[in-house]
Every structure is written in structure tokens, then in C-alpha cells.
Chain A
Amino acid sequence: MEVELKTPISEDEVRKLKVGDTLYITGTVVTARDQAHRRALEYVREGRKLPIDFNGLAVYHCGPIVRKVGEEWEVVSAGPTTSKRMEMFEYDFIEKLKARVVIGKGGMGDKTAEACKRFGAVYAAFTGGAGVLAAKAIKRVVGVYWDDLGMPEALWVFEVERFGPLTVAIDSSGRNMFKEAQERSAGMRESALRELGVM
């Protein structure tokens, strides 16, 4: 099914999404990679206020190419980075910061799936490498925080219009499309080796 959601996204809306749905997001998407995840959770532990409230927003695993044209930021290319690296942070990120959609590539693990189920969130895959497509859907850079982490690691706040297509890959029932596909592939190992005359 194809769904378009506007931020802030409610828990009810996100719980209706199912693995395999195609999702487009309009509103606010914030990039965060390894260092930004780490710092955000440090802030939470120390009770400090974050520069942006993630509640109902989408967090995007992305290190964009951005350049300044006059006074404005121009996003040149902004495809997703490998999400697995953020697995160690994402449960807490979803629980504490109430992000409703996590966007990235390559899939995430059991802990993230558990968080999606418990707190009401989804993991949605954006096509790896599709950096221009992503940049096209970004209408404006609303702000940038933590730029001391460097261009790829900073928190970029993007205003987006029909950002996608995103494939819902972990839903709030805890189904994990990438994990299921991986298990199916592993089950095909023998057939593949037989095809090659090895077994």
C-alpha cells in the first residue's frame, strides 16, 4: 500500500503501517549518524535540552553533501548511509526521543524492531545511493546543529515534500523485512552451491 504521512506523525498513524508499504513523508526530517546519535543520548542522560524535538519526526541516517549558495544551504546529494551502525543507539533514541520513523538503508536488528513494537515506530528503507532523488524532495534546509561534528555527522533539519519512496521494513508489530529476507537467503545456500556443482 502507498501511504503519505505529514509530520508530526502520531503513534496511531505509525502503527497502521505494515512491512512492504511504500511511504512518502512531508514535513520535517532530521539527519543523524553515529556521532549525533551518541551525543543526543548523552544529552538525554544529562537532562539537557536538545536543539530539536524529535517527537513525531523522522530521523534519517544520512551524511549529505551540502553547500552554501549565498545565504542559503543547497543540498547536493543526500542518500542514506548503512543503518546497522546505529543499531546500538536506536532503541534508546526511539524510546527517549519519540522519533516515529527511522530512515536508512540495509536494515536494522532485533533491538530496533523491539523498540518499534514497544513505543510505536517504523524503520523505513530509502534506496541506497539515490542521493539526488533524496535531495530533490528536500525543499529547504531549516537549520543545522552540532556542525562541530563535521558536514556528514551534523544534525541537518530538512523541510521535505513527498520524501521517498520509502519501503517500510520494520513495522510496529515487530516484523523485520530485511531479517526475513536474510534468513531466506541463508536457506538458499545449498541450492546455490548445487547449481555451481559444489555440492
Chain B
Amino acid sequence: MELEKIIRDTAKNLLKLSAIVLPPTVEKALRDAYERTPEGPGKVQLKAIIDNIEAAKRLKKPICQDTGVVSFYLKVGDDFPLKSGLKRILTEATVEATREVPLRPNAVEILGSNTGTNVGTNIPWVVIELTEGDYLEITAFPKGGGSTNVSQVKMLSPGLGMKGVLTFYIDSLLNAGAAGCPPYFVGVGIGGGENVCVELAKKALLRPIGVRAEGELGKLEEKMIEAGNLLKIGAMGTGEGPTVLNVSIETACRHPASLPVAIVFSCWALRYSTARVAKSGEVEYLTHRGIVLGT
């Protein structure tokens, strides 16, 4: 089969997988949360979440009716033969997946209406990283509106230092409350600039759960999880069960005069899926190994 078709089919399948099956690490975090939450409204909500995850898998239907705005994160190998055509291929895959899964049309033109296809001006959003090797790595990363609406970005005064960052994190959580469908996965991006901190925070959400940042930052992530849970927003805002299931931090150097910070929230349904397409056309699924949904 020609490589272009393989990429398109893989991207389409990744969108389908991400809408229907959570990455196993995300599912495990939710199951653990259910186990350790005492009986009450919080546990009822977590039980419904688990039942929903299982039903989605069994019935091959999207976990949530908000199947998100589509973005793709790519790693493009030096020796991978297809490059400038990738965006077009991914756009075609999005249109096909929207029709076939089906996904809810979530691309609305700013001075217009819903395109009906999940593609339009600059959507799907494609982030490209160049890498060594002869493969293409594709991550489909759709994100829902509820948790996007409570994400925050702020340019802090550098004099506030990390204390300012941590206060902003706690206040962002309080502001989010029940609105973004907790328990939350939180991506934190610090430094770089306006766009950089937000991009880092989103990328942080893609780091597998359980993998900590190195050194001091890793310890800070753990403390932030603990502190966030003291707020007791709870599962779906019931005040019971966990508030924060994970925090991942990514950083970049900052301008001496700035301290940009982004707090990006994901609802409990942190959805993404990754596969590698080799130059030979061989496809390896990384996040959803061995999960076949068929057509």
C-alpha cells in the first residue's frame, strides 16, 4: 500500500482510538481513584465514569459526546520520505474520521459557522518536531471544550518566583471547580513566552502518567498533586474523591523580565493515542498496543 494511504488510515484510526479508548495509564489512574474513594456521591460519579469507559469500549462509541477540537503532534524523522504533504493527509483523515466514527463537528469558523467536518482554518492544529530516524510518529490529541474553558495563562512578575507559579496553580484549580469535569490531569508550562508556556503545558499532558519530571521538578509535581487534592473539589465537583490525578510540568528558559505560566486542564477523559509509521509502511501502535476496533 502506498505510504500516503497508510498515514491517512493510521491517523484516522488514532482519532477513533482516542475518542473511544482511554490510554491504559489514564484508565488505571481512574480505577485506582475509584478503589480508594469511600462510598458516597463521589464514588457514584467515579463508578459512572468506569462504567462509561467500559461501555464505550464494548459498543465502540465515543467516551464523551464532546469529541474535542482535533490536534496532531508529529515527530518527523530526517529520512521519512513524506513531509510537506502531512498536513493535507491529516486533514483528510480528520474529515473521514468525523464521518465514520462519528465525531461531533467541533470546528466553528470565527466569523462564520460550524464547518461540519472538524476541519477548517488552521484546524486540525498540527505541531511538528523534527527528529532523527526514518519514521513518523503521530499523536492524535483531541481536547474537549469544558476543560479547555478553565485553562489559564498568565505572565507573572519574575519577582514572585515559583511561589507565584504555585499560587497561580491553586487559584486556577479553585476557579475551575467542577466546571472542567474533575478529577483533573494538569499540564503546567513555565517559561519561554506566551505561546511557548501554553504549548509546553499541553505537551506535558502527553507525558505518560507515573513518569515524573527529573529532579526537583518531579518532587514539585508530587507536592502539587497533594496540595491540589487538599482543595477537595472532588469527582465531578461533589467534594468527594480526588481532585487532581496528575500534574506534569515542562519548562523552558524565560526572559529575565518575564515569568510566563500556563495551567492546562484535562477532564478525567484525557484522550490521546500514538503510533509510529516506518518508512517501510509498517505501523506500530504505542499507547493502544493490541487494541483493534475494526471499521
Contact = CB atoms under 8 A, between A and B. Distances in A.
Interface of A: 20, 22, 62-65, 67, 76-79, 81-82, 84, 105-107, 125-133, 135-136, 150, 152, 165, 167, 177-178, 180-182, 184-186, 188-189, 191-193, 195-198
Given A185-B232, A188-B232, A192-B228, A63 B170 contact: no
Contact of B231 (A77, A78, A132, A185): A185
A184 B240 CA distance: 11
A177 B238 contact: yes
B166 to A, nearest CB: 4
A192 B232 CA distance: 10
B126 interface: no
A105 B267 CA distance: 13
B125 to A, nearest CB: 22
Contacts of A63: 65, 104
Given A178-B237, A186-B174, 8 more contacts: A105-B181, A107-B237, A133-B48, A167-B41, A167-B236, A167-B238, A185-B174, A185-B239
Contact of A129 (B63, B234, B239): B63
A198 B167 contact: yes
Q: Which 8 A-B pairs have the closest CB atoms?
A: A181-B239, A128-B181, A77-B65, A127-B48, A130-B52, A129-B64, A131-B65, A195-B227
13 contacts: A22-B44, A77-B61, A106-B146, A127-B48, A129-B66, A132-B52, A167-B236, A177-B238, A178-B178, A181-B238, A184-B239, A189-B171, A192-B170
Q: Which residue, B51, B52, B174, has most C-beta atoms of chain A within 10 A?
A: B52
A189 B170 contact: yes
Given A127-B45, A193-B170, A198-B163, A65 B237 contact: no
Contacts of A84: 179
Contacts of A76: 61-62, 65, 102
Contacts of B52: 127, 129-133
Contacts of B59: 132, 136
The secondary-structure label for the interface of chain A is mixed
B49 interface: yes
B178 A196 contact: no
B252 interface: no
A181 B178 contact: yes
Contact of A82 (B167, B179, B223, B269): B179
B122 interface: no
B86 interface: no
A184 B238 CA distance: 11
Nearest to B163: A198
